[in-house]
Amino acid sequence: MSDRETARRKFAAVAVAEERGEIADSMDVRRDLIARMTAGTITHEQALEELARLKRGAAKAGKTTRSRAWRAG
């Protein structure tokens, strides 16, 4: 399998997992953090800390992270 085919398969696996709600740090969550940061509600450092907290707690919440889904894809 070529690198391009592998990347497409992995991208699709991440997309499916996000649609199912299995990803703790999904793009929707990341977009929300950026929106809050842009609105001035939180700082850049706070957004990074919250993202890190979500990633750490993913397994406890029965979810996975985007990077784990990519590797498993």
Q: What is the pLDDT of residue 14?
A: 95
Identify the burial level of 30 via C-beta atoms within 10 angstroms of its C-beta, where 0-12 means exposed, 13-18 middle and 19 or more buried: middle
Q: What is the pLDDT of residue 1?
A: 73
Domain that holds residue 34: 3-72
Q: What is the pLDDT of residue 73?
A: 81
Taking the model in full, what pTM does it have? 0.82
Structural domain count of the chain: 1
Span 14-43, pLDDT tens digits: 999 999 999 999 999 999 999 999 999 999
Contacts 24+ apart (CB under 8 A), 15-23: 17/64, 17/69, 18/66, 21/63, 22/63, 22/64, 22/69, 23/63, 23/64, 23/65, 23/66, 23/69
Span 35-73, pLDDT tens digits: 999 999 999 999 999 999 999 999 999 999 999 999 998
